[in-house]
Structure 1
Amino acid sequence: MIIVPILLTVLALLALVHWYLWRRLVRDVSAPGGWYRRVGTVLAVLLPLLSVGAVVGGRVLPLAAERWLAWPGYLWLAVLLYLTMAVLVGELVRVVWLRVTAAKAPEAQSAPDDPSRRLFVARTVAIGAAGAAVAVVGNGAYGVLRGPSLKRVTVPLAKLPRRAHGYRIAVVSDIHLGPILGRSHTRRIVDTINGTQPDLIAIVGDLVDGSVPELGPAAVPLADLRARDGAYFVTGNHEYFSGAQPWVEFVRSLGVWPLENDRIELPWFDLAGVNDLAGTAQGQGPDFEQALGDRDRLRAAVLLSHQPVTVHDAVRYGVDLQLSGHTHGGQLWPGNYLAELANPTVAGLERYGDTQLYVTRGAGAWGPPVRVGAPSDITVLTLASLQA
């Protein structure tokens, strides 16, 4: 029952933030009874309802209906974040501006109380804050809808045989097909990956936010993925919100091989994959012993695991390279600082003992189709043999 007070607290905070913004952006800049005041008041009530509907709709509404709430509701959540930050900065600007103009005014004592000056400052701050928030969110949404950029990273592996020097793995995670990102998003990702001509493709979880009947058609372009040694998939936490096993079977039908606490021995290294931690509650969690326990540790091992936090298990099992996603790189600045509290690595390549961990920022977005300070990516990792 602890979830009830948490939800009430979140709703109360949402209401408080909207009241504050209404006060600064509507009441303080308009006359009572005017059209702007009326429209602003209606939006101050309607927009948070749309946002709550977008978050809740994925659990209770069919996908077609959810789309009507997802676009405005989620976009407003992103605007709300940066609008609130901009207005808070505007509070400081407001104080400084009024003090400076008061000091320059002929009647310095009465200038700060001049209603026309206060109205001018309030309107200027409101316009500036709204413009900044819309510009930031608009640019962030364009980046997501345009599709992920391509990154290239070289990873040296001590145990990699000389003949595998230059082996290329295309890593993609957090595609998040759902009410906003659909089949065209998948097609862009497939075309980008195929254009790199990788040796192997790794899809590291959080492919979908919905069921197979609703989102299966959006995932179908994955059948066109092409790599010499195939494409592989492990579950992310969002698969367990959507029905993991049906998605595992559907992905398999597209020619992408699921690694469910399993391992295959390629000629050059062992490729293993574990289920996401979210599957633990359903008896389908990660099993490192099953995936890695009996392998030959003289061979290099690459592990697919959605959440970076499992790197400590990877170290214990002698994994050379773990590939993860999950963090989105924070997605919306300053979310990267929060992501750092829960993940050993938020983005990029880092070493933990003899194990290297690479975390991709992901190719999609969850919630708002917006990224700020954490652009989406597909990474081509080039493995380098120290014997070459």
Structure 2
Amino acid sequence: MSALAALVPIGVFAGFLVFVWHRLAVAPRWGRRWVPWVLAVVLIALLAAVLEGFDVWGGAWSPATMRPVAWTGQAFLATCLYLFLGFLVLGVLKTLVMLARWRHDRGRAGRLRLNRVGAPLVALLAVGVTGYGAYEASHPSVTEFEVSSPELPAQFDGARVALVTDIHAGAVRSADFTRGVVDLVNAQKPDLVVIAGDLEDGYAARYGPELAPLRDLEAPLGVYATTGNHEMFRDTANWVRAFEDLGIRVLKNENVALDKDGASITLAGVHDISGGGEFAPDPEAALAGVDPAGFTLYAAHQPRQARDVAGRGVDLQLSGHTHGGQMWPLRYLVPLQQPVIDGLHDVGDVPVLTSRGIGAWGPAIRVAAPPELPVVTLRRG
């Protein structure tokens, strides 16, 4: 994004902060001249912290030094979502008061009382929900699934596949978080680990070390990855190289045979739909030479990519991207882009397992969309 283009969302967000400042400091008429000034300073500082979460400034300092600032700024973004929703409800109530008392003082006195009670309450609730979301985001759990197919060789009956998506290590998530992910995955003793995109945010030179613990993932059939849309935002080639340096096999529109006791299944992987050039998705290449009568796992970051392989004999697509909405009520916007939100569902004739993701993008906050590590047990049947 160019500097000029970045000014648009920054300007919109700054305008929203002016609205928040007015709702909290001016509209209630607190009678204290220092209140608007103090709140203005706090909001300006939080705006600076928000920008650091997107690497707008602070590059001269190490990620560890800037992480508390980035974390605070991104968490404030989540708070702003709930401030917006709270003030929306408050605005409706004020309108009702105005209509009910129009013949008297046009509801001015009632609206002032509502401002003095409602504005602090909205702020407290927004901060409280954000705090709960921080707790929820830091406690990923294992979600067990079972998929049966008559095409699965008997030697693979009971094989366990761990699906890791959307770690989003970077300015907010550190190597410590990645280490926790690795420990959780290894504790499940998977036969195969598939990482379906969005491992990171930012540049590989700066944030590559945050993914270093992935080197310790253990699975007899291997650890494989595909790219996500965040790998396509910037520094794509360097990130792919960084993943491979960690011993992760990146499937770049290709497939591999996974062998066990003389039998084999196929794992295919395709680049994210947002990629271009050498990183453009090519489902045909990904499934080249694959026998539709055999058992095929297909790793693609976005669930909608299942539409590209309809009728190709894919037995299970492994995806992420949606985050399950990450923060309520954003869950209800996901169907505008994706055919499924989370869980195991059919997209056409392709069964798709969509993970809510184990990390979080932007704010390390999740509300009513807990992080998960899906583990699939394959069954012959």
TM-score by length of 2: 0.88
CA deviations on 1:239-279 (whole Å, 9 max, x unpaired) are 23342333333322322222122211123421111122233
Contact map agreement 1:199 1:228 (CA 8 A) in 2: yes
Q: Does 1:261 align with 2:253?
A: yes
Please give the alpha-carbon distance, in whole angstroms, between the structure 1 residues aligned to 2:274 and 2:57: 18
Q: Does 1:342 align with 2:337?
A: yes
2:153 to 161, 164, 185: 161
Contact map agreement 1:31 1:37 (CA 8 A) in 2: no
**Residue 213 to residue 13, structure 1, CA distance change in 2 (3 Å):** closer
CA deviations on 1:271-310 (whole Å, 9 max, x unpaired) are 1111222332x32212222221212221010011112221
1:203 to 189, 195, 201: 195
1:127 to 98, 106, 120: 120
Q: Compare 216-225 and 117-126 and name the one that shifted more.
A: 117-126
1:232 to 212, 224, 239: 224
Q: Give the secondary-structure state (helix, strand or coil) at the position aligned to 2:274.
A: helix
Please give the alpha-carbon distance, in whole angstroms, between the structure 2 residues aligned to 1:124 and 1:182: 39
**Residue 158 to residue 45, structure 1, CA distance change in 2 (3 Å):** same
**Residue 254 to residue 3, structure 1, CA distance change in 2 (3 Å):** closer
Q: Which amino acid counterpart does residue 256 of structure 1 have in structure 2? A: I
**Residue 128 to residue 32, structure 1, CA distance change in 2 (3 Å):** closer
State the Cα distance separating 1:49 from its structure 2 match: 4.3
Which ranges of structure 1 fall in alignment gaps of 5 or more residues?
103-107
Please give the alpha-carbon distance, in whole angstroms, between the structure 1 residues aligned to 2:12 and 2:202: 28
Q: Does 1:148 align with 2:140?
A: yes
Q: Does 1:302 align with 2:297?
A: yes
**Residue 226 to residue 313, structure 1, CA distance change in 2 (3 Å):** same
Q: Compare 257-266 and 134-143 and name the one that shifted more.
A: 257-266
Structure whose residues are more often helix by fraction: 1
Q: Give the secondary-structure state (helix, strand or coil) at the position aligned to 1:29.
A: coil
Contact map agreement 1:320 1:355 (CA 8 A) in 2: yes
Contact map agreement 2:51 2:73 (CA 8 A) in 1: yes
Contact map agreement 1:155 1:384 (CA 8 A) in 2: yes
CA deviations on 1:156-178 (whole Å, 9 max, x unpaired) are 22421233222210001010110
Contact map agreement 1:63 1:179 (CA 8 A) in 2: no
State the match for 1:27 in structure 2: 26
Runs of 4 or more consecutive aligned structure 1 residues displaced over 4 Å after TM superposition:
1-4, 6-9, 58-63, 94-100, 108-114
State the Cα distance separating 1:352 from its structure 2 match: 2.7
State the Cα distance separating 1:63 from its structure 2 match: 5.3
State the match for 1:314 in structure 2: 309
TM-score by length of 1: 0.87
Provide the identity percentage.
36
State the match for 1:105 in structure 2: none
